[in-house]
Structure 1
């Protein structure tokens, strides 16, 4: 395997830094990205910054017109986002069950315990716990490509420009589905785990699409 040059390594580091800032909303959709400002803040030249931005453009995170801009989410893309989640998370959950690890099951149970206390949590905190729950399952698949693709679908989902609020009953159903998922993974029931994951995501998709139809 060819060794990366210093310039390629710098560009990769810049890419990873910017990508993470976009994923975590430190840099929000619609924000302008100025090459000189990024170069100065990261202490690198403009070439690796430009290479990193071009890579982010290819991944759909930024666009370029009169300068670089973090891409905003088009609500019409929501069904496509959920289709991606169904494909990625469904199979990732199957693999997580097949490759079951006690530590993963324990961490999933701890997250489920926290989400059961949703009445005392802010919506932002509940979202964070839910996101981590699904991330952990994808990570447990052992497939790094799934993890990278899943990050993108989660970024898109939580950055919708329209408000989607879940009722108490909907949150309770979601939490119950989480428990079923944990049980299937713990029992290494791969078929059931995959089916439950797909059912869970389909339930969420219906809620989101119904909410967005009112806008």
Structure 2
């Protein structure tokens, strides 16, 4: 009976829609983590409270990831290549994991002056928004998928360039323990940008395979 339901769902296109929604839930959860990290960096929320909240967001991300992997395991059809879908999901999960590390390290390193990092978090949030737009168009508009994915990569590139300038700025002054703590934080955001770029590549690759 389950096989019949899966076949009916696949033929009706519902399976593709369900997988798209599962990825969107992941992207939304990662974005929630980025917004929390930004609020902490802007000192709108305390580091300890942000650390606590991030634990709940990460748990939600794990649940969303598990749901998608489960759907992939029994879906007859997928909106893009199965491996690309899995890579996309894993990379979005990596973005959230890296944000968790950013918040945790800001807490345990007791770093208070982080406002220079706000632009990097803004770019990350914007990049996740672009990634979400691309995911929504997987089924119906592959051209827009690629354009939105490229926009997400541009934001990831902006994070990488900002990271380089921040590192140069950090090591222009006398080196101290604080210097290395700050380097670890900005490195976390650079890694999040790299993971965002990988997610965008997976989505663009999948879209091109689907329609060519």
Bin the TM-score by the shorter chain.
0.3 to 0.5
TM-score (norm 2): 0.35
- Indicate the structure with greater strand content: 1
Q: Which has the higher helix share?
A: 2
